Structure 1
Amino acid sequence: MMVSQSALARSVAEKVARESYGRLVAYLGGRSGDLASAEDALAEAFLAALEKWPDTGVPDNPDAWLLTIARRRRLDDWRKEKVRKKSADHLDLVADELSAATDLDEGIPDRRLALMFACAHPSIDAAARTPLMLQTVLGLTAMDISARFLVSPKTMGQRLVRAKARIRDEKIPFLVPEREELPTRLPPVLASIYAAYTNGWMEIDGAKALGHEAIWLARVVVSLLPQEPEAKGLLALMLYAEARRSSRRDPDGGFVPLDEQDVGLWDLAQLQMAEGLLREANANGPTGRYQIEAAIQSAHVARCLSGVSNWQAVVSLYDVLERIAPSPVVTLNRSVALARMGHTDAALADIDALAGDIRMADYLPYWAARAQICADLGKRAEAVEAFTIAVGLCWSEGERRYLEERRSRILS
Structure 2
Amino acid sequence: MIDGRRVEELLRELAPQVLGALVRRYGMFDACEDAVQEALLTAAQKWTVDGLPDNPRGWLVTVGSHRLLDELRSETARRRREQAQWLATPQSALLGAPADAEPDTDDSLSLLFLCCHPALSAPSQIALTLRAVGGLSTEQIAAAFLVPQATMAQRISRAKAGVQAAGATFAMPDAADRDARLRAVLQVLYLIFNEGYAATTGPDLTAPQLSDEAIRLTRWLRRLLPDDAEVAGLLALMLLTDARRPARTAPDGSLVPLAEQDRSRWDAARIAEGVALVSEALPRGQVGPYQLQAAIAAVHDESPAMADTDWPQILALYELLEQVAPSPAVTMNRAVAVGHVIGPRAGLDLLSTLDADTRVRDHHRLLATRAHLLEQAGDHPAAAAAFRAAAARATSLPERRHLTTRATRLTP
TM over 0.5: yes
CA shift for structure 1 position 259: 2.1
For structure 1, the residue ranges without an aligned partner over 5 or more in a row are: 1-18, 47-57, 104-108, 146-156
Q: Deviations over 1:192-235 (max 9, x none)?
A: 21111111212457742221222122222222322221111111
Contact 1:244 1:266 in 2 (8 A): yes
**Aligned amino acid, residue 225 of structure 2:** L
Is residue 196 of structure 1 aligned with residue 220 of structure 2?
no
Contact 1:119 1:130 in 2 (8 A): no
**Post-superposition shift, 1:372?**
1.8
Q: Which residue is 2:5 aligned to? A: none
Structure 1 residue aligned with 2:130 = 138
TM-score relative to the length of structure 1: 0.70
| Equivalent position amino acid for 1:229 in 2 | A
Matched, 1:115 2:111: yes
**Corresponding residue for 2:340?**
340
**Counterpart check, 1:310 vs 2:310:** yes
1:333 deviates by 0.5
- Give 1:376's aligned residue: 376
Q: Is the 8 A contact 1:259 1:304 kept in 2?
A: no
Q: CA deviation at 1:185?
A: 3.9
CA distance in 1, matches of 2:177, 2:358: 37
Gaps spanning 5+ residues in structure 2: where?
1-11, 39-43, 48-59, 132-137, 146-156
Contact 1:235 1:274 in 2 (8 A): yes
Letter paired with 1:118:
L
RMSD: 4.6
The aligned counterpart of 2:80 is 81
Between the aligned partners of 1:395 and 1:84, the Cα distance in structure 2 is: 44
| Mapped contact 2:114–2:170 kept (Cα < 8 A) | yes
Find the counterpart in structure 2 of residue 15 from structure 1.
Answer: none
1:275 partner letter: V
Larger relative helix fraction: 1
Q: Whole-Å Cα distance in 2 between the matches of residues 342 and 88 of structure 1?
A: 62
Measured after TM superposition, the shift of residue 163 of structure 1 is 3.6
TM-score with structure 2 setting the length:
0.70
Give the letter aligned to residue 173 of structure 1.
F
Partner amino acid, structure 1, of 2:125: M
Q: 1:90-139: per-residue Cα shift (whole Å, max 9, x none)?
A: 6853678xx76x99xxxxx996533122356xxx6x46486653232125
2:299 and 2:89 map into 1 onto residues whose CA distance is 61
Query: Distance between the aligned counterparts of 1:235 and 1:27, measured in 2?
Result: 26
Matched to 1:93, the amino acid is: L
Cα–Cα, structure 1 residues 209 and 266, in superposed 2: closer, same or farther, change >3 Å? Answer: same
Q: Does the C-alpha gap of structure 1 residues 267 and 91 become closer, same or farther in structure 2, counting only changes over 3 Å?
A: same
Identity, % of aligned positions? 30
Query: By how many angstroms is 1:267 displaced?
Result: 1.1
* Cα distance between partner residues in 2 of 1:224 and 1:82: 33
The whole-number CA distance in structure 2 between the counterparts of 1:306 and 1:84 is 63
Instruction: Give the superposition deviation at 1:315.
Output: 0.8
1:51 match:
none
SS at match of 2:302: helix
Distance 2:89 2:25 in 1: 15
Q: How does 1:13-412 map to 2 (within 5 A)?
A: 23=16, 29-35=23-29, 76=74, 77-82=76-81, 89=90, 93=94, 112-119=108-115, 126=118, 128=120, 133-138=125-130, 161-167=161-167, 172-174=169-171, 183=179, 185-203=181-199, 207-305=207-305, 307-341=307-341, 343-412=343-412
Deviations 1:129-176 (A, max 9, x none): 8665323212599xx99xxxxxxxxxxx999855432345xxx1255x
C-alpha distance in 2 between matches for 1:364 and 1:252: 23
- Distance, in Å, in 1 between the alignment partners of 2:81 and 2:338 is 65
2:263–2:305: 8 Å Cα contact kept in structure 1?
yes
